């Protein structure tokens, strides 16, 4: 990769790492559904003019059914689940659990698209989920005030991302990346509009909460999608997926700097195991799977 590509990859990781910080800032005042709705609504308002300038709006009408599915699986559902998790667990832990997305993607591809898994990738899957169990073992309490449901929410969101990635590959490979990004945000906003209206907070959120959610929308969804698809086109999917390994580093850093969140030795070890397993599972280490 060229130095500019590496710099852009680091920038994308820093932005997506900050998303977990911004969710912590707004989740308690907005609630998970309303915050997710504002996030995708704001991103839609940013991306729609860009798509219109490229004469791509017609694709949204032609491909509305698969885009609706991707809007649910890649935005509405996981954004709401991660926002729910932000109510009770740290930004760092959420980001580490988010790093299991490629593991879920590999499993979904194996079951649904019949992609073969080499022995090395199977070891990676086992290692990655062992790291998750190690992280969650002492924290997954389902009693009132426990973090068990939050951990399950993060894993459910990561699974949803994994399904969405394979669904996009199967049904939207012929659609431009900007159309997919824009359509997913627009249809996610439509899906969340009514639930957000019902669950809108009775007390107006503070300025800090609004800043956090608007940064989620414009920076972590709108601008980040543009960076992501630019990198995909320049350096390929395999290199771009390396951002998964960098996100927890930045999420932990931002959480420590701005929220005084601790990063324990247990979290560091669990994170290392998860990322090693993910690297093996997606073929970034060892002999690539040619399936």
List, for residues 148-167, the tens digit of each pLDDT value.
899 899 999 999 998 998 89
Q: What is the mean pLDDT of residues 261-286?
A: 80
Average pLDDT over residues 58-75: 95
* Mean model confidence pLDDT for the chain: 87
Calculate the dihedral angle through the C-alpha atoms of 113, 56, 70, 116, rounding to the nearest 10 degrees.
Answer: 20
Q: Long-range pairs for 198-202 at CB < 8 Å and ≥24 separation?
A: 199/31, 199/33, 199/34, 200/34, 201/29, 201/30, 201/31, 201/34
What is the model's pLDDT at position 281? 75
Structural domain boundaries in the chain: 3-281
**pLDDT at 264 > cutoff 90:** no
Helices (H) and strands (E) in the chain, counts: 14, 0
Question: Model confidence at 124, in pLDDT bands (50, 70, 90)?
Answer: confident
What is the reported pTM? 0.86
Banded pLDDT at 237 (limits 50, 70, 90): low
Mean pLDDT of 131-139: 73
Q: Do 180 and 172 meet the contact criterion of CB atoms below 8 Å apart? A: yes
Predicted confidence at residue 290, as pLDDT, reads 44
Residue keyed to tokens 């832990």: 93
pLDDT tens per residue across span 171-224 = 998 888 889 999 999 999 999 999 999 999 999 999 999 999 999 999 999 899
pLDDT of residue 144: 59
Position with higher pLDDT, 257 vs 264: 257
Q: Closest Cα partner for 282 from 238, 251, 245, 247?
A: 238
Per the CB < 8 A criterion, the answer to whether 113 and 291 are in contact is no
Q: Could you tell me where the beta strands, DSSP code E, fall in 102-225?
A: none
CA 117 – CA 252 distance, rounded (Å):
31
**For the chain, what percent of residues have pLDDT higher than 70?**
91
pLDDT at 226: 83
SS3 of residue 99 by DSSP: coil
Q: Number of C-alpha atoms within 13 angstroms, CB side, residue 185?
A: 27
Encode pLDDT of 195-207 as tens digits.
999 999 999 999 9
Report how far apart, in Å, the C-alpha atoms of 57 and of each of 31, 75, 109, 131, 181 are: 32, 19, 30, 43, 12
pLDDT of residue 28: 95
Question: At 291, is the pLDDT very low, low, confident or very high (cuts 50, 70, 90)?
Answer: very low
Q: Convert the pLDDT of each residue in 5-54 to its tens digit.
A: 888 988 999 999 999 999 999 999 999 999 999 999 999 999 999 999 98
CA distance 178 to 54: 9
DSSP run (H or E) holding 72: none
What does the DSSP assignment read for 53-64?
A: HTT-HHHHHHTH
């Amino acid at each position: 990769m060229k130095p500019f590509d590496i710099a852009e990859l680091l920038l994308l990781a820093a932005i997506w790492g900050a998303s977990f910080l911004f969710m912590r800032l707004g989740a308690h005042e907005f609630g998970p559904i309303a915050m997710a709705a504002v996030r995708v609504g704001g991103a839609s308002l940013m991306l729609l003019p860009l798509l219109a300038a490229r004469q791509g709006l017609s694709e949204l009408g032609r491909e509305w059914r698969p885009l609706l599915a991707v809007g649910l699986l890649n935005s509405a559902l996981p954004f709401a689940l991660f926002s729910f998790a932000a109510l009770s667990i740290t930004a760092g832990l959420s980001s580490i659990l988010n790093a299991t997305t490629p593991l879920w993607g590999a499993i979904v591809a194996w079951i649904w698209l019949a992609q073969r898994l080499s022995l090395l990738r199977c070891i990676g899957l086992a290692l990655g989920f062992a790291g998750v169990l190690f992280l969650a073992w002492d924290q997954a309490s389902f009693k009132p005030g426990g973090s068990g449901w939050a951990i399950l929410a993060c894993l459910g969101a990561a699974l949803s991302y994994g399904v969405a990635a394979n669904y996009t590959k199967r049904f939207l490979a012929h659609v431009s990346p900007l159309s997919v990004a824009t359509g997913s945000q627009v249809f996610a906003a439509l899906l969340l509009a009514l639930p957000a209206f019902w669950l809108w907070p009775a007390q107006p959120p503070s300025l800090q909460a609004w800043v956090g959610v608007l940064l989620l929308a414009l920076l972590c969804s709108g601008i980040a999608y543009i960076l992501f698809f630019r990198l995909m086109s320049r350096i390929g999917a395999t290199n771009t997926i390396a951002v998964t390994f960098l996100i927890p580093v930045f999420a932990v850093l931002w959480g420590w700097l701005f929220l005084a969140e601790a990063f324990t030795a247990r979290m560091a070890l669990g994170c290392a195991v998860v990322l090693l397993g993910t690297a093996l599972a997606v073929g970034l280490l060892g002999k690539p799977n040619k399936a």
